[in-house]
Amino acid sequence: MAEIITPDWVKHAVFYQIFPDRFARSTRLTKPSNLEPWDSDPTKYGYKGGDLLGVMERLDYLQELGITALYFNPIFQSASNHRYHTHDYFRIDPLLGGDKVFDALLTECKARGMRVVLDGVFNHASRGFFQFNDVLENGAASPWLDWFFFEGVHPANAYDRTRPPGYKAWFNLHALPKFNTDNPQVREFLMQVGEHWIRRGIDGWRLDVPSEIKTEGFWQEFRQRIKAVNPDAYIVGEIWEDASEWLRGDQFDGVMNYLFTQAVIGFSAGPRVRTEMVDNLEYRPPGLTGEGYADRIDRLLKLYPWPVQLTQLNLLDSHDTARFLTIAGSDEGSLRLATLLMLTFPGAPCIYYGDEIGMTGGRPDRWVRKTFPWDRPAEWNTDLLDFYKQVIALRHAHPALRTGMYQRLCAERDTYAFARTLGGISLIVAVNVADVPRAVEVPLAGLDTVPSSAVPLFGAPETMAISDHVLGLTLPARSGVVLDVSPGLPPG
């Protein structure tokens, strides 16, 4: 197997996922009049009017949080508030501020050392996509007929949801006609879209439902052409299960690591999980013990080569899941434990906008896409925000938490401890998910050096002592600690 090379910057990044219509709305942009009030409940089809200038005005906030990379849900011209119905792949949606505002945002992000990754929806287009719309107008006479999969009946049924659409569509949704990527013209069009925005200055692509594209060699060519423009570009796929076939070094650099999401929900939230909120995530009541979580993590870390593990996009929730706090029955302790585990895990952590201030939202999707309450500070959980800042700063301060090797040390019913080691530095992370304090004995003999002392970097154990190559801890209820145990002598 050829050497697998993944972008180094991703290994050190902390991502923030932004749903553009709901994150921030600038008063400096003129908007249509028929927008929903920002503070009103979200609806399936309504627009709130969030925009990219609003994002630019909040970059100070994001940098203070410790964010170094932004992942945007789709921003191309579209007739839906989520913009997965792409009309024009070469134009930023005017409701978001258009191309000039996007260029200004890119410039400002680059000046701050922040990366930008866009959502690439290449499996399907929309009814408003020019080539598909031409078929709706001209039927079998359209020159663009073979860009899609029509079933021979024209005019196609693009709007009556009581009848089949008459063409292949993602999830059989009339609004999302599937591209015929076996058509060389379609394939070339999508490759050029990918190249265009990389040349324009973005730092990578998050690929929507890439497993739906079955055309042989499609993603291999996509990688080759994107990396030819920028070898450092990040290519991350939305794959919810074992993604081994896409992570061999010839297609994606990483995937949205929902396998980690499933494990961390099961361990940190356990019996608190509202099962109706995890219908699209693997969850078996009452969750995972420390041993079960450790075994799941061990299997996950064996799935992919180490350079890929370091560029996985790790997340607790997203626009496609209920928010973690809602999943956990509003238990803030579960969110803190899960966040600590994510920020100390190999790969790039990704925070869904607003989680850091305690935003909630369950299924269906519109409730997980509520607006950020910028003008309602009373709704902010500022203690939780401070916690996020501390844990993110901890990750930035310690390279071992970003690229250090990962080693399981011990796991019991309610506790789990592991080490991250790099260049003679050894950090130990230990968590207790129980509602009462737990004593933990962490064996140290397997480390490169046997420490004689431990320095708390985060959290405070009730007791702590090292004896006979064992670190003894008493962890408070529902808590975690990070310890530096680097000082020591070679074993033996």
DSSP state for residue 4 in the 8-state scheme = P
Hey, how many other C-beta atoms are within 10 angstroms of the C-beta on 135?
A: 26
Q: Bridge partners of 323?
A: none
211 with 307, same domain: the answer is yes
pLDDT at 448: 81
Residue-level pLDDT, tens digit, the chain, 492 residues: 578 999 999 999 999 999 999 999 999 999 999 999 999 999 999 999 999 999 999 999 999 999 999 999 999 999 999 999 999 999 999 999 999 999 999 999 999 999 999 999 999 999 999 999 999 999 999 999 999 999 988 999 999 999 999 999 999 999 999 999 999 999 999 999 999 999 999 999 999 999 999 999 999 999 999 999 999 999 999 999 999 999 999 999 999 999 999 999 999 999 999 999 998 898 888 999 999 999 999 999 999 999 999 999 999 999 999 999 999 999 999 999 999 999 999 999 999 999 999 999 998 899 999 999 999 999 999 999 999 999 999 999 999 999 999 999 999 999 999 999 999 999 999 999 999 999 999 999 888 877 888 999 999 999 999 998 999 999 999 999 999 998 654 444
Last residue of a domain, one of 335, 366, 397: 397
417 with 378, same domain: the answer is no
467 with 375, same domain: the answer is no
288 with 415, same domain: the answer is no
Q: Report the CATH number at residue 64.
A: 3.20.20.80
**Rounded Cα–Cα distance for residues 254 and 213 (Å):** 17
**Rounded Cα–Cα distance for residues 142 and 55 (Å):** 40
Residue 139 included in any domain: no
pLDDT at 127: 97
211 with 320, same domain: the answer is yes
219 with 365, same domain: the answer is yes
Residue 155 included in any domain: no
**Crossing angle of the two packed helices 184-200 and 218-229, in degrees rounded to 10:** 30
20 with 66, same domain: the answer is yes
390 with 257, same domain: the answer is yes
Q: Report the CATH number at residue 436.
A: 2.60.40.1180
pTM of the model: 0.97
pLDDT at 1: 58
Residue 408 included in any domain: yes
Query: Total domain count for the chain?
Result: 2
Instruction: State which residues form the domain around 350.
Output: 8-123+181-397
107 with 256, same domain: the answer is yes
- Distance from the Cα of residue 431 to its chain's centroid: 23
Label residues 44-62 b or e (16+ Cβ within 10 Å = b): eebbbbbbbbbbbbbbeeb
Residue 464 included in any domain: yes
334 with 289, same domain: the answer is yes
The amino acid present at 407, given as its one-letter code, is: Q
DSSP 310-372: TT-EEES--TTS--HHHHTTT-HHHHHHHHHHHHTSSSEEEEETTGGGT----SSGGGGSPPP
Which sequence positions are flagged as catalytic? 208, 238
Q: 256 in helix, strand or coil?
A: strand
